[in-house]
């Protein structure tokens, strides 16, 4: 779940900031941002980031920067909810969340249905990102 803290419109396109909440063992699929770099500041919980094959554990107070063009995978590896501030530079990626997300309120539960993968892949491409298919086994 992502809450907009500063949008591209607010910052003249310079950046977007979201506050993301991840239930235990949850994160997005591995993906690449071709047009934005991401910087994560962990507010609560414990996250694990896999960036270009390198694994980093990040507890509250940790900062993790992922440059554009790099495959990334991350998730909450703790047993409690994780909250993370995410900075996207340049701004504009909030359009992805608006297109594929569901409007929620502070007391909303995360969606229970699995995401529509085709919709995610198409929207990601529209906003300069790529969700590669899972490796074949």
**pLDDT tens-digit series, residues 26-64:** 998 899 999 999 999 999 999 999 998 899 999 999 999
Q: Between the CA of residue 32 and those of 37, 70, 113, 114, what are the distances in Å?
A: 10, 6, 24, 21
Instruction: Answer whether residue 107 shows pLDDT above 90.
Output: no
Contact present, 12 and 43 (Cβ < 8 Å): no
| Both structure tokens of 64 | 């993790």
Q: What is the CATH number of domain 2-130?
A: 2.60.120.10
Nearest 10 degrees: Cα torsion 56, 61, 65, 70:
40
Domain range annotation of the chain: 2-130
Find the angle CA(120)-CA(83)-CA(28) to the nearest 5 degrees: 20
Residue 66 is predicted with a pLDDT of 96
Query: What is this structure's pTM?
Result: 0.85
């Amino acid at each position: 779940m992502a809450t907009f803290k500063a949008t591209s419109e607010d910052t003249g396109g310079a950046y977007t900031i979201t506050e993301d909440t991840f239930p235990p063992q949850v994160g997005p699929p591995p993906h690449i941002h071709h047009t934005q770099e991401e910087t994560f500041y962990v507010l609560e919980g414990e996250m694990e980031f896999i960036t270009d094959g390198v694994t980093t554990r990040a507890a509250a107070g940790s900062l993790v920067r992922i440059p554009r063009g790099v495959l990334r995978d991350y998730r909450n590896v703790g047993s409690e909810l994780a909250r993370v501030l995410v900075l996207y530079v340049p701004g504009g990626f909030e359009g992805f969340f608006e297109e594929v997300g569901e409007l929620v309120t502070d007391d909303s539960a995360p969606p229970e249905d699995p995401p529509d993968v085709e919709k995610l892949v198409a929207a990601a491409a529209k906003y300069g990102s790529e969700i590669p298919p899972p490796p074949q086994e």
